[in-house]
C-alpha cells in the first residue's frame, strides 16, 4: 500500500468574493438553441463532437444531432441509464443491472451483458470496455461490494475484480487501466491495470470520495465528503479545502470548478454562494456554469466577470460541455442545448426586459403550486 503526500492549500474569500454583480434572472430556456424531451427524468446527458446523447430513468436512450436537434435514433432498455461511453463507432451504456453496446450511427443494439448488482460506470477506449457495478445492502443502508469488469468490443468478458467499496469516480488512465475514487471503508483510490491486481493508494485524508472529474494535463480530481479536493497525477495533493461535502466538480484549462452541499461554488475567480445544493457544473468557452436547487426551482449561475443567474422550473442534475456547446438534463426529462455564440448574443440583449410569455408563466406557477401542495 502506498501513501500519496498531500499539500493543503486554503483559499480565503469572504461571501462577496465573487466580484461580479448579478444583473438579471431570466429563464434558462431564453438562452437555448433548442430543447428536447425524454420519456422521464434525465439520468444522463453527454455531448460528442456532433451528437447529443441523453438517457432517462425509464431506460430511454436518445441521440440527436447537435447541429440541428434532429432525432437520429432512439433505443429502450431496462432503466435507469447511469452512464455511457463512446468509442470507435459504438455507444456503451450501463443501465439497471446490465451493460449494453449500440451502433453509434443507427442505435441498433449489438449485445448486452448482465452485471452483478446495479450498474454504475462505463469507460471505453481502443476496443476495450471497462464497467463497474455495485451491491447495496438495505439492512445497513450502504454499499457492501463492487465489481470492476473488463470486456472486449464483442462483449467477451476478459477480467473482473471484486472490491469492498463502491467507486464514486471511474476514469480511464493513460496506461490503459482505470482509476477509481473510493468510498468507505478504505477510501483513497485504486489503480487497476489489465492482468494485474488492483493497487490501493491512501490520501492523507480518510474522507470518502464523493465525485470526480478529469482535469488538465492528465490529472484526476477527486472530491471528498469533508470538502477537500485531491489531485492525482501531479505533484499537488489537495487543491482546496472547504468544510462542506463536494457534490460536483469539473476540470478547466486553468484548474477546476467545485460545487458543494452548502451552496458554495469555488473557481479561479473566487467563491460564489447560492441557495440550496450545487448539483452540476461545466465549463463553456472558459466560463463556468453551475446549477443549484433550492427546493422549488433550479438556479443556473454563469460564473463570468458579470455574474448572471437563470431560473428553471425543474431540478438540473446533469450538465456536459464540449467545444462551444453545453447541455443540461432535468428531472422533467428536458434536454436543453446552449451554444456559446447564441448565448453571447442573447446576453447582450436586455433579457430581463423581454415580456414573459403568459402561457409559460402560467405553467410555471401551476408547477410550483403542485410541488408545494
Grouping H, G, I as helix, E, B as strand and the rest as coil, residue 183 is: coil
C-alpha to C-alpha distance for 204 and 336, rounded to whole angstroms: 40
Q: What tens digit of pLDDT does each residue of 202-254 get? A: 988 899 999 999 866 568 999 999 999 998 876 556 665 678 999 999 988 87
Backbone angles phi, psi at 218, to 5 degrees: 75, 15
Sign of CA dihedral 308, 310, 315, 320: negative
Dist CA 256 CA 266 (whole Å): 8
Task: Take residue 45 and report the three cell numbers written for it.
Answer: 446527458
Distance CA 174, CA 177 (A): 7
Fold annotation for 2-372: Methylamine Dehydrogenase; Chain H (2.130.10)
Q: Which three cell numbers stand for residue 337?
A: 442545448
- Tens-place pLDDT, residues 181-207: 999 899 999 999 999 999 999 988 899
Q: Using an 8 Å Cβ cutoff, are 303 and 314 in contact? A: no
pLDDT of residue 5: 35
Query: Which residues are CB-contacts of 162 (< 8 A; sequence separation ≥ 6)?
Result: 145, 146, 147, 148
Q: Read out DSSP for 269-327? A: TEEEE-SSEEEEEEEETTEEEEEEE-SS-EEEEEESSS-EEEEESS-EEEEEEETTEEE
Enumerate helices (H) and strands (E) in the chain, giving the number of each.
2, 33
The answer to whether the CB of 71 falls within 8 A of the CB of 85 is no
Which sign, positive or negative, has the C-alpha torsion 187, 84, 39, 31? positive
Please report which helix (H) or strand (E) contains residue 358, including its range: helix 358-372
**Which residues of the chain fall short of a pLDDT of 50?**
1-24, 352-355, 357-358
pLDDT in the model for residue 306? 78
The candidate with the shortest Cα–Cα distance to 252, out of 279, 224, 199, 290, is: 290
pTM of the model: 0.84
Instruction: Name 295's bridge partners.
Output: none
- Indicate if the alpha-carbon torsion angle 196, 202, 203, 209 is positive or negative: positive
Predicted confidence at residue 213, as pLDDT, reads 92
pLDDT at 322: 93
In the structure grid, which three cell numbers stand for residue 180, read together? 477509481
pLDDT of residue 157: 97
pLDDT at 348: 86
Residue 363: enclosing H or E segment and its boundaries? helix 358-372
Dihedrals phi, psi of 30, to nearest 5 degrees: -65, -15
What are the grid coordinates assigned to 273, written together?
454562494
User: What whole-number distance in Å separates Cα of residue 183 and Cα of residue 246?
Assistant: 13
- Predicted pLDDT of residue 364: 56
User: Distance between CA 173 and CA 44 in Å, rounded?
Assistant: 22
Q: Domain ranges in the chain?
A: 2-372
365 three-state secondary structure: helix
Amino acid at each position: 500500500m502506498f501513501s500519496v503526500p498531500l499539500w493543503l492549500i486554503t483559499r480565503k474569500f469572504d461571501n462577496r468574493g465573487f466580484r461580479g454583480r448579478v444583473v438579471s434572472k431570466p429563464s434558462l430556456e431564453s438562452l437555448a438553441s433548442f430543447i428536447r424531451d425524454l420519456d422521464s427524468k434525465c439520468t444522463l446527458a453527454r455531448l460528442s463532437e456532433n451528437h447529443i446523447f441523453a438517457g432517462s430513468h425509464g431506460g430511454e436512450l436518445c441521440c440527436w444531432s447537435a447541429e440541428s436537434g434532429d432525432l437520429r435514433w432512439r433505443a429502450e432498455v431496462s432503466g435507469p441509464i447511469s452512464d455511457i461511453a463512446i468509442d470507435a463507432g459504438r455507444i456503451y451504456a450501463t443501465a439497471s443491472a446490465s451493460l449494453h453496446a449500440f451502433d453509434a450511427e443507427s442505435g441498433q443494439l449489438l449485445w448486452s451483458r448482465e452485471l452483478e448488482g446495479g450498474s454504475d460506470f462505463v469507460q471505453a477506449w481502443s476496443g476495450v470496455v471497462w464497467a463497474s457495478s455495485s451491491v447495496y445492502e438495505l439492512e445497513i443502508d450502504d454499499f457492501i461490494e463492487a465489481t470492476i469488469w473488463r470486456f472486449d468490443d464483442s462483449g467477451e468478458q476478459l477480467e473482473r475484480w471484486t472490491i469492498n467499496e463502491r467507486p464514486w469516480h471511474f476514469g480511464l488512465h493513460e496506461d490503459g487501466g482505470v482509476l477509481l475514487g473510493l468510498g468507505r471503508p478504505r477510501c483513497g483510490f485504486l489503480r487497476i491495470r489489465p492482468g494485474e491486481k488492483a493497487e490501493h493508494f491512501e490520501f492523507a485524508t480518510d474522507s470518502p470520495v464523493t465525485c470526480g472529474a478529469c482535469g488538465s494535463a492528465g490529472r484526476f480530481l477527486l472530491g471528498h465528503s469533508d470538502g477537500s479536493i485531491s489531485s492525482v497525477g501531479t505533484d499537488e495533493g489537495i487543491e482546496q479545502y472547504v468544510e462542506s461535502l463536494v457534490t460536483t466538480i469539473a476540470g478547466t484549462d486553468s484548474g477546476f470548478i467545485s460545487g458543494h452541499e452548502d451552496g458554495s461554488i469555488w473557481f479561479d475567480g473566487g467563491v460564489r454562494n447560492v441557495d440550496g445544493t450545487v448539483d452540476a457544473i461545466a465549463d463553456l468557452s472558459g466560463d463556468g456554469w453551475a446549477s443549484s436547487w433550492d427546493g422549488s426551482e433550479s438556479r443556473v449561475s454563469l460564473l463570468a466577470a458579470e455574474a448572471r443567474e437563470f431560473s428553471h422550473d425543474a431540478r438540473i442534475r446533469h450538465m456536459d460541455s464540449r467545444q462551444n456547446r453545453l447541455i443540461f438534463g432535468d428531472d422533467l426529462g428536458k434536454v436543453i442545448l446552449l451554444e456559446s455564440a447564441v448565448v453571447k448574443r442573447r446576453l447582450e440583449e436586455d433579457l430581463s426586459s423581454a415580456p414573459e410569455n403568459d402561457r409559460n408563466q402560467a405553467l410555471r406557477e401551476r408547477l410550483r403550486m403542485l410541488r408545494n401542495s
